Structure 1
């Protein structure tokens, strides 16, 4: 990595598309730290996680390149298809939060950072939230300058102190509407369920999927993520009330959002293992039986 943050080579991407206001705000801030090259999806790619494509059309853009692919495609191309040796990958700013283990795993914003880490380059994934509105949508109505400034300051500091010697990826959720938010190191909270609904009406399907209806031995099922408990649609699942503070322990990313803080979750992306003596005994016993 470069000796000084002022000489950083930065690869910038996102999952909302290269024309999203969040990436524009992030690019403007990062130019204070070094050279910024943008490789971002040509269109919105929210929620694709680490999905990859074998083929992708790339075209030049005033900031770098627009790729008709996923955020992970953009990082792969940037780190292995360009001649620049990048010091860090920054992904964002996403126009909505990415907090909680399950959401983090589905996020294209975070997926770009995971791809970078697997390719040996540290990364910061940056998402924004509104303490009242929660989702920053439509993004054109929100000002991303505050989370962009926070992300720039964090990038500069963590590079200078060598945090990426032990951390692969930082997942950051910053409020867009809190004047001087506290910053807290957090851990992603596992808070997720699945709801299954059964339907007989094929009108729920997109046109052309089943124009002739269902057969007698078929039933339409809807699988719905319960990512935000007790929430319908796009309402704020984290209003600053005591029952929500009690649900989310201090030190978790979601509690920081309830409290209007900047959540910074240091992640390892190499899927570490867990030692289990019971499993070891089972495998050893089965191995002896095979012999």
Structure 2
């Protein structure tokens, strides 16, 4: 195909390092239109606004809204002719089935799927604890595993028919360091491990996602083929996913419905 046209969004904000790393990498062979939040909108899921303000930005458009807003605004009003939506690169991994609905990065890709536009969500796994990860990955080169994998997928996935089956890809990459080889790709499924805890202390209750500590300590039951296992072992995880919620014939519910007015 001719040079693809990509809508690039994220949830860390249009001025984030990971966004710039992905913008620069994709701009080498695609037309990129940036439509991203004007500031950090992490972990807002698919929250949607009724009205947003748009400002021009050196990279495209800064939206006073959520990542899902950006996808809708971009595809409906700003750049409706794009071939693909890319969301990222997020600082912090988006791994596991339970995370998919929380992540603003992934939600921007899900929103694109409802427009029948292929999409890729891209995140960087940054090891660390107690907030350390928030101060890491502050150079564009730290994102090289993510940008190289994404560029490869953008360049080849459409022509290979990947999106004939998948509606979007959830990509997670390990951080890159000087002298490292590029991390290999692995096709994965989202892990089902869930380890949220809530602890009450008087009138306050703290919520903790223990999965991150278990990843750091190597205490993971995740089998081979899952996204979290791949990323902990240094590979780029690529999970092909579909957006609509599935529904199955349910005989027990049929029986309840039939008996409802008896």
Provide the TM-score with structure 1 as the length reference.
0.81
From 23, 26, 29, the counterpart of 1:27: 23
Q: Secondary structure at the match of 1:7?
A: coil
Superposition CA RMSD, Å: 2.2
Q: Give the structure with higher Rg (CA).
A: 1
From 89, 107, 115, the counterpart of 2:103: 107
Quickly say closer, same or farther: Cα 1:141–1:88, change in 2 above 3 A.
closer
Deviates further, 107-116 or 154-163: 154-163
Match of 1:174 in 2: 173
Q: Secondary structure at the match of 1:158?
A: helix
2: CA distance between counterparts of 1:16 and 1:150? 20
TM-superposed CA distance for 1:222, in Å, is 1.7
2: CA distance between counterparts of 1:276 and 1:41? 41
Match of 1:154 in 2: 153
User: Are residue 49 (structure 1) and residue 26 (structure 2) matched?
Assistant: no
Match of 1:205 in 2: none
Q: Secondary structure at the match of 2:13?
A: coil
1: CA distance between counterparts of 2:48 and 2:19? 21
Match of 1:206 in 2: none
1:7-86 correspondence to structure 2 within 5 Å: 7-86=3-82
The answer as to whether partners of 2:7 and 2:82 remain within 8 angstroms in 1 is: yes
Provide the TM-score with structure 2 as the length reference.
0.89
Q: Secondary structure at the match of 1:238?
A: helix
2: CA distance between counterparts of 1:44 and 1:116? 20
Q: Paired residues, what number? A: 256
2: CA distance between counterparts of 1:76 and 1:58? 13
Deviations 1:66-124 (A, max 9, x none): 01111111111100012541110000001110001112211110011011111221100
TM-superposed CA distance for 1:196, in Å, is 2.8
1: CA distance between counterparts of 2:56 and 2:198? 44
Deviations 1:223-247 (A, max 9, x none): 5142516x2xxxxx42484x53xx0
From 239, 252, 257, the counterpart of 1:278: 252
TM-superposed CA distance for 1:137, in Å, is 3.2
Task: Please list every run of 5 or more consecutive structure 1 residues that lacks an aligned counterpart in the other structure.
Answer: 201-219, 232-236
Q: Secondary structure at the match of 1:173?
A: strand
